[in-house]
Structure 1
Amino acid sequence: MAYHVTLIPGDGSGPEVIAAARKVVEATGVDIQWEEAQAGAAMIEKYGTPLPDETIASIRKTGVALKGPITTPVGTGFRSVNVALRKTFDLYANVRPAKTYPGVISKFENIDLVIVRENTEDLYAGIERMVDENTAESIKLFTRKGCERIIRYAFDYAVREGRKKVTAVHKANIMKCTDGMFLDIAREIAKEYPQIQFNDSIVDAMCMRLVMYPEDYDVLVCPNLYGDIVSDLCAGLVGGLGLTPSANIGVNGAIFEPIHGSAPDIAGQHKINPTAAILSASLMLAHLGEGKAAASIEKAVERVIGEGKILTQDMGGTASTEEFAEAIITAL
């Protein structure tokens, strides 16, 4: 069976990691018909936007995309291609695994947790304005629908993946309406899943516990802003952003991407770590129902990193992006 997938190389070093991920996917033997589309800063001059209509149309047609990192201007200009895609396709669940691999330089072992981040609401809804020249205002938007579906997604994910515990992350002691509603809904939904252990944690305490006892956690379900911060913290626990994939799952599609930035300072130098992009492609295959191929990629990544012979610079080696990808293909 052939699957149609939109391929978005992205900005900076994005094309390098996405090319590596594409080769690894093709090496599994799964029949993917790629439809390449463009997004990013380079598109602004040609289209007047970093997200051309043709790219949106392609994702709408295929329903699935593998995407490279895209540069987001700071302070001015187009808000964010990522945010625009999440809104356009209602990609409400951002799933970010964080797992330690033997051979990676890290202060911790035996971390295997997943952050399930609400992806469309909270302060990232972009409802903000200048009240006057000295005062800016931003609205923290939570809806019952948004809270219910992300929390239920986290519990369903835990059941499906054989995980044991869900932790709701919040600041309900201060944000009593928004975070308070999130926590109340989490407690109610947890009653429907007696087989899953449930607890909750205030976000600042959560950050402290994660750097002290990360092995105690399994699935974390978070509002948008906290999820963004906590997922980067967890990436740091397991060796960095270069090792951390993500999936954006929604009502009208799914987009898979590494969570790291576009790294324009090393673009074209062929030394960026493609692991996050390769593991994102593995998540994509699992989403398509190709679980065996997805698992084979993760096992190959674990083997190559564990052997420690062919690693990129950030992992302590000297291999190029392409050499590392070829090692993964050989391990397959």
Structure 2
Amino acid sequence: MKQLQIASIPGDGIGKETVAAGRKVLDTACEVHGGVTFEYLDIDWSCEYYKQHGQMMPDNGLDILRPCDAIYLGAVGFPGVPDHVSLWGLLLPIRRTFRQYVNLRPVKLMAGVQTPLANRYPGDIDFLVVRENNEGEYSNMGGRLYQGTNEEVVVQNTVFTRAGVERVVRYAFELAIKNGRKKVSSATKSNGINYTMPFWDEIFAEISSEYPEIENNQYHIDALCARFVTHPDEFDVVVASNLFGDILTDLGPAIAGSIGIAPSANINPTRAYPSMFEPVHGSAPDIAGKGIANPMGQIWCGAMMFDHLGYQDCGDLVMRALADTLAAGTTTADIGGHANTMEVTEAVCRRIKKLAGSVPS
């Protein structure tokens, strides 16, 4: 039996509850699989840690994470600590130092979840968004001059590199092939942003020519957002720059019914460094500690982590159990149910055990 080390960072707010729930599901899947176990490295880095120590993680934090096989994150952010402090103090250093240049977010309408879109049903919304995760509009370049005066000047630089754009676009096409998808769509704004976006478009065209079996198209980001709402069934894989991907991957879960079930993976495809798996929902401090947080996003992240680590059978098992639990109506209040966090978690675990006999180990 192989043992893998997982850095477990609950973070803030409901992260403490959802990570505990997710770990219970992960351990159940490992138990029935019989070929892998997880050893957790418990880490308390959070906004609470920041208030005590003046930093989101210790100076050697990245060295602590480096030997791990993966990172399982809950949520980061809490009132009293500015968002840019928590983001730039923890998440972005991990994503960038560990070259997690792909942010992958599935968008799927599941049975048992109500979409706000009229006349849309499970199967109508099922696509993958690949967001460039290391550069683009979120580069740490720029500054402020004459701060606090009438002459103040603020500059924020956008940085695109050929290597950075090529690798994320190619990843999107390879992902389409791996998952049996037929089309890759690109987000752009080359009619208004006259250097970086034409550059992005040129590279998308170059890479797409290497994959003639995959249909390709592109949309201006404003039109693409509208298309997500009016024609979500048209998409298979969507690739976007850092900012555009960030926007699209919040809109995606919204049309799929709930941000509470949305997962994400920050992936280093070379596996030279650990990848990080975190739900989209944030720390939700208004419901923290009440035991009512939706654990589905965290559980789905666990399935993605199994896939990345080479245990797709475990990932498939978790996803089948999650889907069956949703379809049966065992859900939290945010998607119309009456169950609490642990009731949903226990239901998924029971379903994993029932399904295990039909899943190869």
TM-score category (smaller protein): over 0.9
Q: Which amino acid aligns with 2:210?
A: E
CA distance in 2, matches of 1:79, 1:215: 33
Q: Which amino acid aligns with 1:139?
A: N
Which of 116, 122, 136 does residue 136 from structure 2 map onto? Answer: 122
Work out the percentage of aligned pairs sharing the same amino acid. Answer: 35
Secondary structure in 2 aligned to 1:265?
coil
Secondary structure in 1 aligned to 2:138?
helix
Q: Which amino acid aligns with 2:343?
A: E
The Cα of 1:140 is off from its aligned counterpart by 1.1
Matched, 1:18 2:27: no
Structure-2 change in CA distance of 1:260 and 1:235 (3 Å):
same
Larger-gyration structure (1/2)? 2
Corresponding residue for residue 210 of structure 1: 228
- 1:99-125 per-residue CA deviation (whole Å, 9 max, x = no partner) reads 011110113322111110000112211
Which of 32, 38, 44 does residue 50 from structure 2 map onto? Answer: 44
- 1:22-76 per-residue CA deviation (whole Å, 9 max, x = no partner) reads 0001001241111111221111134321122454223201141111110074476
CA distance in 2, matches of 1:89, 1:220: 23
Q: Which amino acid aligns with 2:101?
A: Y
Structure-2 change in CA distance of 1:151 and 1:34 (3 Å):
same
CA distance in 1, matches of 2:51, 2:87: 16
Corresponding residue for residue 284 of structure 1: 305
Matched, 1:85 2:86: no
**Contact 1:168–1:220 (CA under 8 A) maintained in structure 2:** yes
CA distance in 2, matches of 1:51, 1:171: 36
Q: Which amino acid aligns with 1:4?
A: Q
Q: Which moved more, 1:180-189 or 1:25-34?
A: 25-34
CA distance in 2, matches of 1:220, 1:281: 22
Which of 35, 50, 61 does residue 67 from structure 2 map onto? Answer: 61
Corresponding residue for residue 316 of structure 1: 336
CA distance in 2, matches of 1:317, 1:75: 31
CA distance in 1, matches of 2:321, 2:142: 45
Secondary structure in 2 aligned to 1:317?
coil
Q: Which amino acid aligns with 1:100?
A: L
CA distance in 2, matches of 1:77, 1:100: 34
- 1:271-301 per-residue CA deviation (whole Å, 9 max, x = no partner) reads 0101100000100001111111100111111
Which of 157, 164, 173 does residue 146 from structure 1 map onto? Answer: 164
CA distance in 1, matches of 2:176, 2:114: 28
Corresponding residue for residue 307 of structure 1: 328
Question: Alpha carbon RMSD of aligned pairs, Å?
Answer: 1.5
The Cα of 1:160 is off from its aligned counterpart by 1.2
The Cα of 1:188 is off from its aligned counterpart by 0.5
Matched, 1:197 2:219: no
The TM-score with structure 1 as length reference comes to 0.96
Secondary structure in 1 aligned to 2:67?
helix
**Contact 1:6–1:58 (CA under 8 A) maintained in structure 2:** no
Secondary structure in 2 aligned to 1:211?
helix
CA distance in 2, matches of 1:170, 1:58: 38
CA distance in 2, matches of 1:63, 1:304: 29
Secondary structure in 2 aligned to 1:283?
helix
CA distance in 2, matches of 1:76, 1:161: 35
CA distance in 1, matches of 2:113, 2:137: 34
Secondary structure in 2 aligned to 1:66?
strand
Structure-2 change in CA distance of 1:132 and 1:119 (3 Å):
same
Q: Which amino acid aligns with 1:184?
A: E
Structure-2 change in CA distance of 1:129 and 1:4 (3 Å):
same
Corresponding residue for residue 97 of structure 1: 106
**Contact 1:40–1:70 (CA under 8 A) maintained in structure 2:** yes
CA distance in 1, matches of 2:161, 2:264: 24
**Structure 1 stretches of 5 or more lacking a match?**
none
Q: Which moved more, 1:71-80 or 1:245-254?
A: 71-80
Which of 292, 314, 329 does residue 271 from structure 1 map onto? Answer: 292
Secondary structure in 2 aligned to 1:84?
helix
Q: Which moved more, 1:130-139 or 1:192-201?
A: 130-139
**Contact 2:11–2:76 (CA under 8 A) maintained in structure 1:** yes
CA distance in 1, matches of 2:112, 2:225: 25
Q: Which amino acid aligns with 1:39?
A: W
CA distance in 2, matches of 1:318, 1:306: 14
**Contact 1:38–1:52 (CA under 8 A) maintained in structure 2:** no
Q: Which amino acid aligns with 2:139?
A: A
Corresponding residue for residue 260 of structure 1: 281
**Contact 1:43–1:52 (CA under 8 A) maintained in structure 2:** no
The Cα of 1:165 is off from its aligned counterpart by 0.7
CA distance in 2, matches of 1:151, 1:25: 31
- Corresponding residue pairs, total: 331
Structure-2 change in CA distance of 1:78 and 1:17 (3 Å):
closer
